[in-house]
Amino acid sequence: MKTTVNDSRLKKAQEIASNPVAYKVCEGCDSIVGIQSVTCPNCHGYRFDVDPTRVVDQAIYLGARKQTSVTSEDMV
Ligand SMILES: [Zn+2]
């Protein structure tokens, strides 16, 4: 079975949600970055929220949003 980009994004979201203590959420752009990152690779911010609940919520949100955007692109 072929793995789609959409599946891998969803898998990444699930991976983050299953191990939220290894990640943190950027306060500047809401990206999820690895816990060891000093600055955000997207916005170069240095303020992060390490609350696992926030990380899980954001992972699910990003996974769902990416899925929706891919679907709507497919329909155009
Ligand atoms: Zn950021």
pLDDT value for 54:
97
- Angle, CA 50 vertex, CA 61 and CA 34 arms, to 5°: 75
pLDDT value for 73:
53
Q: How far is the CA of 40 from the centre of ligand 1 (A)?
A: 5
Q: How far is the CA of 1 from the centre of ligand 1 (A)?
A: 35
**Strand ranges across the sheet with 32-34:** 32-34, 23-26, 48-49
pTM of the model: 0.74
Q: How far is the CA of 50 from the centre of ligand 1 (A)?
A: 13
pLDDT in tens, the chain (76 residues): 665 667 788 888 999 999 999 999 999 999 999 999 999 999 999 999 999 999 999 999 888 875 555 555 555 5
| Residue 39 Ramachandran class (φ > 0 left, ψ -120 to 50 alpha, else beta) | beta
Q: How far is the CA of 25 from the centre of ligand 1 (A)?
A: 8
Q: How far is the CA of 42 from the centre of ligand 1 (A)?
A: 5
